Amino acid sequence: MSKYIVEDTRKVTTHRLIEMKRKGEKIAMLTAYDFTMASIIDAAGVDIILVGDSASNVMAGNITTLPITLDQMIYHAKSVVRAVKRALVVVDMPFGTYQVNADEAVKNAIRIMKETHADALKLEGGEEILPSVRKILDAGIPIMGHLGLTPQSINKFGTYGVRAKDEAEAAKLSHDAHLLQDAGCFSLVLEKIPATLGEKVAQSLEVPIIGIGAGGGVYGQVLVCTDMLGMTADFTPRFLRRYADLNTVISDAVGNYIKDVKASDFPNEKEQY
Ligand code: KIV
């Protein structure tokens, strides 16, 4: 069992995140997509687990997050929820499930909540998706917003480069952040934007801002679990800190297993019936 288990084992709620921000306690968030990883991450004491649509990349091998379906996100989310005792579980609404109109958005949002038992949803975008955000919130479903680099819009952006470097885009991001907060979102993710902008937006809002590549002036951080564990060896953005080198650990373990099997060294006498 992990030595990092937190003493406060109460379930994290959206209300508690706002309390944490008020007390100046930073929020630690990671993604997870399956039962085993979610059990480990939750037991280690992370505050929020995001069932990210990055599952499309790191679980399914797609180039973008666009192909992942509602059914596939529900499958991942159910697996994670079964494992989690403490963390708040947030599920990404996948591309195409909330952009058409607010009625369709709330129908899909309700389906995710009913079938997965997750705690909240995350949607990418600002003013353009506000009617969907409002309708989902009206149904009693908590929403985390997501602005800056929003990977579901990669075909519009054309690059995964830093967003909101110019004044116009920074002003729109700030405007959108306030709209989402005023609509009732409990938190926002800001992805890959200048640190100065991240801090400015974080300080101008009541709700906690979670950053990924948004600098240290925000109230929490999120990373994709497979990236921070060093499993995705080729992904090396500046914002990523690797806390392990599981790529090498797994590769060495598999290499040793193959060697032992080929040498008839596995199983030994104690490993058989
Ligand atoms: O899908 C995801 O992993 C995300 C995080 C990068 C915030 O949205």
Mutate to test the pocket of ligand 1, among 37, 49, 53, 160 (most ligand atoms within 8 A of CB): 53
pLDDT at res. 4: 59
Assessment of whether the complete model's pTM goes beyond 0.85:
yes
Does residue 105 carry a pLDDT above 90? yes
Task: Work out the pLDDT band at 203, boundaries 50, 70, 90.
Answer: very high
Whether the CB of 189 sits within 6 Å of ligand 1 = yes
Is 194 or 1 the better-scoring residue by pLDDT?
A: 194
Whether the CB of 232 sits within 6 Å of ligand 1 = no
Instruction: Read off the pLDDT of each residue in 156-176 and give the average, rounded to a whole number.
Output: 97
174: left (phi over 0), alpha (psi -120 to 50) or beta: alpha
Instruction: Read off the pLDDT of each residue in 136-155 and give the average, rounded to a whole number.
Output: 98
Collect all residues with Cβ–Cβ distance below 8 Å to 241 and sequence separation of at least 6: 223, 228
| Distance from Cα 68 to the centre of ligand 1, integer Å | 13
| Distance from Cα 143 to the centre of ligand 1, integer Å | 14
pLDDT at res. 61: 97
Mutate to test the pocket of ligand 1, among 51, 124, 224, 240 (most ligand atoms within 8 A of CB): 224
Amino acid occupying residue 129? I
pLDDT at res. 197: 98
Q: CA separation (Å) from 113 to 72, 118, 139, 142?
A: 14, 6, 11, 10
Task: Work out the pLDDT band at 8, boundaries 50, 70, 90.
Answer: confident
Phi and psi at residue 91, to the nearest 5°: -115, 135
Nearest to 203 by CA among 172, 224, 181: 181
Nearest to 223 by CA among 207, 234, 210, 233: 210
pLDDT at res. 2: 58
- C-alpha gyration radius of the chain: 20
| Distance from Cα 4 to the centre of ligand 1, integer Å | 24
Name the residue ranges covered by the structural domains of the chain: 14-242, 246-273
Task: Work out the pLDDT band at 5, boundaries 50, 70, 90.
Answer: low
Residue 191 annotated among the catalytic residues of the structure: yes
Is 14-242 a CATH 3.20.20.60 domain? yes
For the chain, the residue count is: 273
Does residue 135 carry a pLDDT above 90? yes
Count CA within 13 A, CB hemisphere, residue 256.
6
On whether the CB atoms of residues 173 and 204 are closer than 8 A, the answer is no
Does residue 165 carry a pLDDT above 60? yes
3-state secondary structure of 139: coil
Of the residues 191, 199, 206, 269, which is catalytic?
Answer: 191
Does residue 247 carry a pLDDT above 90? yes
Does residue 3 carry a pLDDT above 70? no
Instruction: List the structure tokens of 126.
Output: 């600002």
pLDDT at res. 9: 85
Cα distance between residue 141 and residue 185, in whole Å: 10
Does residue 148 carry a pLDDT above 70? yes
Name the one residue in this structure whose structure tokens are 């949002």.
109
Instruction: Read off the pLDDT of each residue in 124-146 and give the average, rounded to a whole number.
Output: 98
Helices 35-43 & 70-83 angle (0-180, nearest 10) = 40
- How many CB atoms neighbour CB 184 within 10 A? 14
Whether the CB of 224 sits within 6 Å of ligand 1 = yes
Phi and psi at residue 131, to the nearest 5°: -60, -40
55 DSSP assignment? H
The stretches of the chain forming alpha helices (DSSP H) are 14-23, 35-43, 55-58, 70-83, 102-116, 130-138, 154-157, 167-183, 195-204, 225-228, 246-262
